[in-house]
Amino acid sequence: MSTRRYLISKVLQAILTLAFVLAFNFFLFRAVGDPVTQLLRGHSGISAQAVLQLQRQLGLDLPLPQQFVHYVKETFEGHLGYSYFYNLPVSQVIAGRIWPTILLIGLSTLASTALGIWIGIRQGWRRGSKYDQGMLAFTLFTYSMPEFWFGLLIIMAFAVGVGPFPALFPTGGYETTGAGYTGMAHVVDVLNHMVLPFFVLTLSYLGEYSLIMRSSLLETLGEDFIITARAKGVRENRVLYGHAVPNALLPTMTVTILQLGFVLSGVITIELIFNWPGLGLLTATSVDARDFPVLQGLFLLFSASVIVANLVADLLYSYLDPRVRAA
Amino acid sequence: MRPRPTSTEPVATAPDVHIEVKEPPRTPKQIARARRKAAAKRVWREYRKNTMGMAGLIILGFFVFVAIFAPLLASSCGLDPTCPSTGPQLHAPSLKYPLGTDDLGRSVLTLTIWGTRISMIVGLVSTAITILIGVTIGLIAGYYGAWRETVLMRLTDWFLVIPFLPLAIVLATLLGPSFYTVIFVIAITSWPSAARVIRAQVLSLKTRPYVERARALGASDWHLVTRHILPNVGPLIFANTVLTVAVAILYESTLSFLGLGDPLHTSWGTILENSFGAGAPFAGNWWWVVPPGLAIVLVVLSFTMIGYALDDILNPKLRAR
Amino acid sequence: MSLNGRRKGPWVGGTGILVAAVMLATASFAGIAGAQSATPSPAGKSTFIYGVTAPNSSMNPLVGYLGIDYTIWSLEYNLPIEFATKDFGADLEHSIVTSVETSSDNMSFTYHMRSGLKWSDGQPFTANDVAWTLNFYKESNISNYSADLAIFKSAEATDDATFVIHTDQPTSVFNGQSVWMYEFILPEHIWSTIDEPKKFENVPAVGSGPWVVTQQKPGDFVRLERNPNFWGTQVGLEPHVDVIIEKVFNDENQMAAALQRGEIDFGFFDSANILNSLKTKPNIKTWGAQIPLFDELAFNSGSAFQTDKAGGFVPHGDGIHATSDPAFRRAVAEAIDKQTLVDKVYGGYATVADSPVQPGATTGNWDPPADQALNFNLDKAKADLTAAGYTDTDGDGVVNDPKTGENVVLRYYTRTSDQNTIKTAPFVKSWLEQIGVGVKVFAVSSGKLTTIIESGDYELFHWGWFPNPDPNYILGIFTCEQRAPKPGVYGNNDSFFCDPQYDQLYQQQLTATSTQARVDIVHQMQQILYEQQPYIMLAYTNYLEAYRTDRFTGYTTQPEGVGDLLATWGPFGFIGIRPVTGEGASAAKSEGIPGWVWIAIVVGLAVVIGGIMLGRRRISDEDRV
């Protein structure tokens, strides 16, 4: 298959998947019941006329296929509906939450992949050593931890303070409310608030990457070209960094990118307990408020970001590893 | 390297299993059983040498014991705040309440012991359903191929990219919080990876000589699937199951923590949700936060370690050189 | 060739230290920031920050419905007559209205306003705005205001400082002796030009109160700034704070930590455990405010059996017959130990309740006479149940309904969003089972419960109300026409209580022409509710509040002595607070480690890590040849 055809097929697949998610999203939320009844919940004395008007406005008086077309059209125009709870357009509610999440996920993913890969390399290289065993126990432990539980412990220790030790870090948000910092002071202020959630997320996901890097390196080390290189008398360090690691890195990087989409949703509990005003916190509060339009919008956004991450991983993989295209 | 037990050994392929053979007593069925028994023994022998795997097994054994014998370890009355055994509210650990009490005066030890049951049941039942769906879809897609495969695998791929937790949250929110919702939601969101793995294995088994021979001899699809394919994907299903339980238990706790669990059942996740809601982290009631979380970590860890050890043994690529 | 198990020490140590180092480096960087952020806000503006545990539902007074939304509006807008701080009475001294005249037929009320009032954008604030707003609320049937405006006919401005309210029937409620109208007056020049007022975000807002909203980030914060044109300075209402920020915390642990660290000055809490813990911290005071807020166990008092058709009611639902019998409900009420619930479930931050009209209400509260009180007594409850015919005829331990013969088993709904309802359930279940009444507990979301209630498919549920100081609204929810007429249609009357005598009294209190006569009627209505027990009133729950003492002072309570410190009915609580000055004032907010310590830590760590890594690399290269 040519590179071009491969790329086109991948992009087409992503678009198809996106279409599936759109349809799934539509029917999932239609299945709950009449959206208008939900909209009117708690509002007494609404006239039948007002209900009709609302239905027309939402396109609910149309037959289902037309409703679907209406929904797709609206979605592409950026109209994701109207939040039950905030009484604002969903797109407006979501838009204000994207940046904090990207910041938190971006930095913590960078840190956890870098550390995870570094640890994984050393483990794989010295398979069965005390280091390997120790790190394996450590990473398996962090991997098995519910992030939010670890977060609670961290809050108890660093945000509240234990015994005579004072609370070291601010919590509850993205910046110092009302301080009005600008420029560098603002950046520093945000970072200060990010320390604890960043730490928890980094440690929680580090295990995953190191485990993947470790096994990926182990597989690579068993391959013929490594044995050949060693037979040729290439120095061990060179075998590791010149031959094994670059090859083992490929699957790890792919997983990292795939993981990015999932981390996006995995921050839900972390943002909740650290009151980080991002998409995850919005998800948690919308669950509480049963704010279905917002949940629907978030679900679409999360799914779309995973699909895009998948596509990027596929394309990157084919670029880095020509064998994939040949296959 | 010794070949893997499932791959090359000749398999009895009698077209008719109803053949009456009095002597010798070894029917093809028995031979197959004996062979599998031997294979299992080999795996077990290797497994026993794996420290991590054994550690996982011991931890898991402990929690299974706790789950089964919960009524003997702590009276269920202790879950009811009107029970006479409840003590002072939010009491730090003491001799009478080794893990302290919650805000209704219930012993956290009792709650954690009983939470083991719910968490394990949710983990196991949802895994069973996951595997059932995964195996069915993987088998059909892998065995029949053609349009069935295209349709099922496309569906699987779609479900695979839908982010797990948001989907689970949306479903649980729509369906309302209950014990069954949690099980259903976990199962419905985690089958795709199982389906993919099974399908890949079925694809490779399908072309094995002994399967082809059986088919040439006129074996029905049902016979092929139940006698040749399923028993041979068994180990893989098992390894997959072990890791799925770990994930299911983690997700149960996350869903419960987000208030989507069943508040009338005590699971580790709901204990954590209650403690969080009642301000235990701020008030420093660590005894209410640490035990259920630690229990989750240990159980998930034990399943992960077992899964890892199995992977080490069953996956020849990872063998030490 | 084996690479296994040769080296130890530096590898483990190296990685461990590196992990720690990266974490600490970020931490340190941020720590310096923490030290920097200790400097107070710029330009000497005083900023007061209060924390809440849930986001606002809207900044728009036509659609929002939460208590915290009302708090914002009462800073932004004026009511025609404000609630007095002391007792929720009419405070004409501090209102835009100075006096009210009642016509002889008790159907027209002339309100005289202060003159020269201005909106925050400098436009004049006149009687036209008031008349326009009231008519607009009435015509648009805004649910927040429809109860108050039930017998309101129209309002007209006769000049810039006078408006007249006309009613359909004679009444005393608009006579200005109490605060009847809980209607926020909006600027006509803004709102009359909006096509879809219900979709108006209303940020930044134009208002007449001491502060107006200038910015909001939904679910994160709301920022209010001082209104330069606030009219209250004429009457001695001088705000001392320039900026007010409502900070949304979605979790109380974080809010308590923020209060402890001085990131916020005041917080509204829900958890007694957190409040008790805050009590022990330095520079923090806590307070359980008694405000109109109650929790009840509501019965389905006969959605399937009632014949009264008021409001288009059609009998519906599968609620059992027993709960439609007042004798049964009274017996159940005697089996509920409210004091135990107050102590154990509400952590002591509540008082036992018996009427939906709270003690602080403007009409005063009715208490059951000692001989009529339904006190907790399981033996008496059981005896009363037997006397009413509910006995265990089939010997299965559960009493049977004398009319239908069925076992009396109550479906009892709690709400997942309210831990107190879930915690109460096992107590109630245990007590009811002791008198032979079966209970099946469910936990559902509030939305789901609303649907269940509308359908009449329940026997018992636990919920609460946050009534106005005037009892009209809360008493109105027990009238026949407020029942959900059929499944799927909302009705305020969630217990399906329907009693013609009660409805008659409800109309009479609206149209009584003297305030005292109205009070008497309101008390009679409370007595009916107590005797019939559509609600088992559980507790008047406190509003839990905590504040720092080192930054702001001047808190007052409403009502006096027992009530709310801040989220008062009207802006007076906020107007009273002022920054602490002189000794005892603490400018620094952060309690963190000073910046130089962090720098030292970073430098030290960098040296250590650098050393280890360099050393290790050299060794490994040699070793691996």
Closest chain C residue to A202, measured at CA:
C23
- Residues C385 and C525 grouped into a single domain: yes
Q: Which of A140-144, C21-25, C95-99 has the lowest mean pLDDT?
A: C21-25
Does residue C244 share a domain with residue C365? Answer: no
Higher pLDDT, B166 or C602: B166
Q: What is the CATH number of the domain that holds C366?
A: 3.10.105.10
* Selected residue with higher pLDDT from C403 and A61: C403
Determine how many CB atoms are found less than 10 A away from the CB of residue C219.
22
Element holding C599 (H helix, E strand):
helix C595-624
Mean pLDDT of A310-322: 76
Chains contacting C with at least 3 CB pairs below 8 Å?
A: A, B
- Tens of pLDDT, residue by residue over B280-295, are 999 989 999 999 999 9
Is B90 close to C442, i.e. CB distance below 8 A? no
Residue B82 and residue C276: Cβ atoms within 8 Å? no
How far, in Å, CA of A72 to CA of A79, rounded? 10
Instruction: Evaluate if residue C587 carries a pLDDT over 60.
Output: no
**pLDDT score for C487:** 85
**Is position C88 within any domain?**
yes
Are C592 and A115 a contacting pair at CB < 8 A? no
C163 three-state secondary structure: strand
B310 touches chain A (CB under 8 A): no
Kindly state the average pLDDT of the residues C304-319: 90
Q: Closest-CA residue in chain A for C257? A: A160
Interchain CB distance below 8 Å, B161 and A310 = yes
Select from C493, C511, C538 the last residue of a domain.
C538
Which chain B residues are within 8 Å of A222, Cβ to Cβ? Answer: 317, 319, 321
Contacts of C18 in chain A (CB under 8 A): 115, 118
How much is the mean pLDDT over chain B? 83
Q: What pLDDT digit, counting tens, does each position of C200-250 carry?
A: 999 999 999 999 999 998 888 999 999 999 999 989 999 999 999 999 988
Structure tokens at B108: 């956290």
Residues 37-66 of B with CB under 8 A from A: 52
Lowest mean per-residue pLDDT among A50-54, B243-247, C186-190, C456-460: A50-54
Distance from CA of B81 to the nearest CA of A (A): 25
pTM, to two decimals: 0.85
Minimal Cβ distance to C252: which of B80, B279, B320: B279
pLDDT of residue C2: 31
Q: What percent of chain C has pLDDT over 90?
A: 60
The lowest-confidence range among A18-22, A153-157, C359-363 is C359-363
Are the beta carbons of C444 and B176 closer than 8 angstroms?
yes
Tell which wins on pLDDT, A322 or C115. Answer: C115
The CATH number of the domain holding residue C34 is: 3.40.190.10
Query: Is C6 a domain residue?
Result: no
pLDDT confidence of residue C113: 96
Domain boundaries, chain A: 18-79, 96-326
CB B284 within 8 A of CB B195: no
- C128 lies in the same domain as C176: yes
- Note which residues in 203-232 of chain C have CB less than 8 A from chain A: 217-221, 223
> Is the confidence metric ipTM above 0.95 for this complex?
no
- Whether the predicted pLDDT of B130 surpasses 80: yes
How far apart are the C-alpha atoms of C399 and C396, rounded to whole Å? 8
Among C26, C54, C63, beta carbon nearest to A195: C26
- What angle, rounded to 10 degrees, do the helices at B230-257 and B268-277 form? 20
Which of the 8 DSSP states describes residue A240? I
Alpha-carbon distances of C556 from C224, C238, C239, C289, C420, rounded to whole Å? 21, 15, 14, 11, 29
| Best B257, B275, B296 residue to mutate vs chain A (most A CBs within 10 Å) | B257
Query: Do the strands C284-289 and C438-444 form a parallel or antiparallel pair, or are they unpaired?
Result: unpaired
Q: How many CB atoms lie within 10 A of CB A145?
A: 23
In this prediction, residue C515 has a pLDDT band, given cuts at 50, 70 and 90, of: confident
**Residues B14-54 pLDDT 10s:** 334 444 445 555 677 788 788 878 888 888 888 888 888 99
Q: How many Cβ pairs closer than 8 A exist between chain A and C?
A: 221
The alpha helices in chain B, defined as continuous H runs, are 28-49, 51-68, 70-73, 108-144, 146-161, 164-175, 179-206, 209-216, 221-223, 230-257, 268-277, 280-283, 286-314
pLDDT at B218 over 90: no
Of A167, A179, A290, the CB nearest to C445: A290
CA distance B244 to chain A (A): 12
Q: Angle at which helices B146-161 and A292-320 pack, to 10 degrees?
A: 110
The CA distances from residue A17 to A22, A64, B159, B186, B189, in Å, are 9, 21, 9, 22, 16
Residue environment code for B51-79, b if the CB has 16+ CB neighbours within 10 A, otherwise e: ebbebbbebbeebeebbeebeeebeeebb
User: Is C383 found in the same domain as C266?
Assistant: no
By residue range, what is the domain housing residue C570?
14-72+204-290+543-614
| DSSP structure class, residue C197 | G
Chain B residues in contact with A272 (beta carbon < 8 A)? 258
Percent of chain C's residues with pLDDT above 70: 86
The residue assigned the tokens 């209410």 is: B288
Same domain flag for C298 and C368 = yes
Do C357 and C486 belong together in one domain? yes
Decide which of C191, C217, C247 is a domain's last residue: C191
- The yes-or-no verdict on residue A55 having pLDDT over 70 is no
pLDDT in tens, C243-301: 999 999 888 898 999 999 888 999 999 889 999 999 999 999 999 998 888 999 999 99
Q: Do B281 and A145 touch (CB under 8 A)?
A: no
Q: At C142, phi and psi to the nearest 5? A: -70, 125
Q: Final residue of a domain: which of C481, C509, C538?
A: C538
Averaging pLDDT over each range in A74-78, A256-260, C125-129, which range is the top one? C125-129
CATH topology of domain A96-326: MetI-like fold (1.10.3720)
CB-based contact B282 C422, cutoff 8 Å = no
Our CA-based measurement puts residue A79 at a distance from the nearest CA of chain C, in whole angstroms, of: 15
Instruction: Pick the residue from chain B with its C-alpha nearest to A227.
Output: B321
Asked if residue C572 and residue C526 are part of one domain, the reply reads no
- For B:123-152, CB contacts with A below 8 A are none
Q: Which of residues 166 through 185 in chain C touch A, CB cutoff 8 A? A: none
Which letter, b or e, does each residue of C310-326 get, where b requires 16 or more Cβ atoms within 10 Å of its Cβ? ebebeebbebbbbbbbb
Between A71 and C111, residue with greater pLDDT: C111
Structure confidence at residue C1 (pLDDT) = 31
> Containing H/E element for C162?
strand C162-167
pLDDT for C615 equals: 43
CA-based nearest distance B239→chain C, Å: 26
Distance from CA of C427 to the nearest CA of B (A): 6
Percent residues over pLDDT 90 in chain A: 16
Minimum Cα–Cα distance from C594: chain A residue: A168
Of the partner residues B80, B104, B263, the one whose CB lies closest to the CB of residue C430: B80
Q: Which residues on chain C are in Cβ contact (under 8 Å) with A202?
A: 22-23
Q: Where are the domains of chain B?
A: 98-320
Query: In this model, does residue C32 exceed pLDDT 70?
Result: no
C197 and chain A: CB distance < 8 Å anywhere? no
Average pLDDT, chain A: 81
| Confidence at residue A327, expressed as pLDDT on a 0 to 100 scale | 42
Res. A120: pLDDT tops 80? yes
* pLDDT tier, A322 (very low <50, low <70, confident <90, very high otherwise): low
Question: Does the distance separating the beta carbons of A144 and B301 come in below 8 Å?
Answer: yes
Q: Which of C2, C4, C271, C284 to mutate to test the interface with B (most CBs of B within 10 A)?
A: C271
pLDDT over 50 (residue B12): no
Among B59, B152, B165, B303, which would you mutate to test the A interface (most chain A Cβ atoms within 10 Å of its Cβ)? B165
Q: Is B188 on the interface with A (CB under 8 A)?
A: no
Average pLDDT of span A145-164? 85
Does the distance separating the beta carbons of C442 and B282 come in below 8 Å? no
**Where is A117: in which H helix or E strand?**
helix A90-125
Name the residue facing B283 among C274, C422, C427 (closest C-beta).
Answer: C274
Please report residues of A whose CB lies closer than 8 A to that of C42.
180
CATH code for residues B98-320: 1.10.3720.10
The Cα of A87 is separated from the nearest Cα of chain C by a number of Å equal to 6
How far is the alpha carbon of B293 from chain A, nearest alpha carbon, in Å? 6
Tens-digit pLDDT profile for residues C333-384: 999 999 999 999 999 999 999 999 988 888 777 889 988 899 999 999 999 9
Residues C313-318 have a mean pLDDT of: 93
Lowest mean pLDDT among A55-69, A86-100, A188-202, B43-57: A55-69
Same domain, C386 and C255: no
Gyration radius (Cα) of chain C, Å: 30
Contact flag B282-C344 (C-beta cutoff 8 Å): no
What was the pLDDT predicted at C95? 95
Q: What is the mean pLDDT of chain C?
A: 86
Subunits with 3+ C-beta pairs closer than 8 A to A: B, C
Q: Please tell me the distance in Å from B281's CA to the nearest CA on chain A.
A: 5
Total residues found in chain A within this entry = 327
Average pLDDT over residues C180-203: 93
